[in-house]
Structure 1
């Protein structure tokens, strides 16, 4: 298994609720093409901290790749609301662009 994945798992063992580490691990699984594991990790992030807005875009793109279009649209919508609440207009605009590309 990938050395970065092993390191991230070690760090997560010490800090299991660290959204940054969990997100980074999910992205490593995306690189390996393991959409199932990545999806579980992204979803865990949002369950633990719905305000961790970086996860919405990547989960939405993953859902698009696995042809879960309606789920992706819903994730983008939730992400836009979270980004707006956080005052992060850059992320809001990225999510809105992905949403519009998919929904229209």
Structure 2
């Protein structure tokens, strides 16, 4: 396990309500092929901090990678709603683009 992952895991343990640490650790888990651990971390953020808009793109993409397109579409849609509520046009555009690409792939 890399020093970065160990540091982030310790930060998550010491700050269990901090979504940023969980999010960053999940991204590191993806880099080393630990998609199931990343999914658990991302889902924890969605469940406990649903306003953390950045998680929806990455969780949706992970679902696409896991070939769970239904969950991916639902995740992107929820993220678009959250981004819209927050007037976060950048995140909203990213999520809409990812959703559109997936829908095209499914047609």
Asked whether the two chains share a fold, i.e. TM above 0.5, the reply is yes
1:33-44 alignment runs, 5 A limit? 33-44=33-44
TM-score normalised according to structure 1 size = 0.97
5+ residue gaps, structure 2, are none
Stretch deviating more after TM superposition (7-16 or 90-99): 7-16
1:1-104 alignment runs, 5 A limit? 1-104=1-104
5+ residue gaps, structure 1, are none
Moved over 4 A (4+): none
TM-score normalised according to structure 2 size = 0.95
C-alpha RMSD over aligned residues: 0.6
The CA deviation string for residues 17-71 of structure 1, in whole angstroms up to 9 with x for no partner, is: 1000000000000000111000000000011110000000000111101100110
How many residue pairs get aligned? The number is 104
